[in-house]
Amino acid sequence: MKYIYAALATLLIIFGLGFWLFHGSSHDQIGSVSTNFRLLGPNDKVVVQRFDDPDVTNVSCYASFAQTGGVAGGAGVAEDPSQFALNCVAHGAVTIPASLPDQAEVGAISASFLFKHFVLTRMVDRQNNTLVYVLISTKVLTGSPANAVSAVPGS
């Protein structure tokens, strides 16, 4: 029986690492600001990351979120609080392709080593020719009502 648990734990770690590595490369970190001094390990901070919409030219979303420091945070095993903000902007003319799905995940941020992520989802408001972006917090077992929303009008 202990071999089954060990195999399941190994698969969970492999899946978690793959998810973390895959989603970790879909955005660019712009910078960070320290918010709380930690004697051991890095300080707590607010991090700003940019997501460029992979399917719509000239749209970028900027997410800021709290990141836990200390020894656990420095080792990458601390769970970050579900505190974040979102602002999406157009850098030029925005054309919403007719073939764009009504809703799609466009990025994610790992908020703990395996179990918690902040997920960026794009929705299309075709009636108003507008893209709506929602950032939510997810956990493997339970979600969170924490969310942020931003919209970008099409040209």
Q: Delimit the domains of the chain by residue range.
A: 2-153
Indicate if the pLDDT at residue 117 is higher than 60: yes
pLDDT band at 3 (very low <50, low <70, confident <90, very high): low
pLDDT band at 100 (very low <50, low <70, confident <90, very high): very high
**Both structure tokens of 63:** 């997410």
In angstroms, the CA 107 to CA 49 distance is 11
| Number of other CB atoms surrounding residue 65 within 10 Å | 23
- By the 8 A CB rule, do 145 and 52 touch? no
